[in-house]
Chain A
Amino acid sequence: MTIPNLMRRAAGRARRTLQSRPTPVARLESDLRAQQDRIDELQLEIDELRRDSLRVAELIDLAEQAFTPKP
């Protein structure tokens, strides 16, 4: 088999593979994007929960000062 024939057959095989399986790559990309979006969303939720720690601390601090009867 000559080299041009080999290359033609390899190119044909690659074309058939790519044409027959366009979905998995696209699906992987789409899944990855969806997962990344979900991670970002969860990260924002964690940020809010962490900020709640600070809000709670500040409010308890304020409440304790405000409601302590003055001597």
Chain B
Amino acid sequence: MEIRFHNPYRHSVLGLLAELTVFVGFMAVMAVVALVFSWLV
């Protein structure tokens, strides 16, 4: 996959931000899932 950067770091910054956002969101969802199931018992 050829990628030409106008600003070589722009993609990296966006990539990092995307990752961090997804990670934190994912952590929150997992916490909710665990909580919901703990209430079922």
B partners with A? no
